[in-house]
Amino acid sequence: MKGVLVFNQLNDVVFVHCDSSFRKHVNKQAVEAGLISAEEVEGPIDHNVVVQLFLPLITSQRYMLEQRSDPYEVIELEDDTMYMFEQMQDHLFVAVCGDKNEKESFLHRKLLVLQRIITLLVGPILEQVRPSKLHERKQRWKMISYLLDTWYNLCEEEQCFLMEAVERLYVNHMLNAKGVEILERVMSEMRNAGEKKCCPCHAFDRLQVACFILQSTCI
């Protein structure tokens, strides 16, 4: 059971991405609370229901942050369900894991990656993640979810994404010199094509996920 949620200052859902287990769990909790009917358990998540279920947790977190300056970082329940929190501007990011497959450090990284993805897409105005028009919201959420899932899959398949480090290949002198020559020619063309011909350039060549040659020029 996995999910990530983003709430704004008004406690509205700005973004949610989860698997089917999380969706069913939330809907079952909603049935027990009398918020939805039993026939809706297999249906999509109602964002208003999510707000009502998470409101006590969100309120407690905001109180600890604003009044005590000591917000929660992680909460672990008796059934090993883990909640990780990250604050960005006025928005609260929450990661949930209920199957013990993700450790606290990984959940923290997941939220940081989500924050970075959102910032790259919408800049500092995080409310743009949730456009008022439904079709635009679905497209934006789909893109963010796709990027987050891609990062997650790469972490499982490629060690460099898991370790956040790139392997450096070491080759013989002749091959290395040839690679440097090619990159220098490319950077020279870049500098000549740009408006500011004195600007520094950086280039690298890679072999799959490993770095082959790395070259930079000074101003």
Q: Are 104 and 84 in contact (CB under 8 A)?
A: yes
Pairing of strands 201-207, 210-217: antiparallel
> Rounded to whole angstroms, how far apart are CA atoms 183 and 201?
10
Contact 117, 37 (CB under 8 A): no
- Residue 160: predicted pLDDT: 66
**Domain limits, the chain:** 2-163, 173-217
* Long-range pairs for 186-194: beta carbons < 8 A, 24 or more residues apart: 187/215, 187/217, 191/217
CB under 8 Å to 133, separation ≥6 — which residues? none
Give the bridge partners for 202, in sequence order.
Answer: 216
- Written as tens digits, the pLDDT of the chain (219 aa) is 999 999 999 999 999 999 999 999 999 999 999 999 998 999 999 999 999 999 999 999 999 999 988 999 999 999 889 999 999 989 999 999 998 888 999 999 999 999 999 999 998 889 999 999 999 999 999 999 999 999 998 888 876 676 666 667 777 888 888 888 888 888 888 777 766 556 677 787 877 767 777 777 765
Residue with tokens 């990062």: 151
One-letter amino acid at 135 equals H
Q: Which superfamily is assigned to 2-163 in CATH? A: Longin domain (3.30.450.50)
Q: Give the whole-angstrom CA distance, residue 58 versus residue 111.
A: 16
Q: How far apart are CA 48 and CA 35, in angstroms?
A: 10
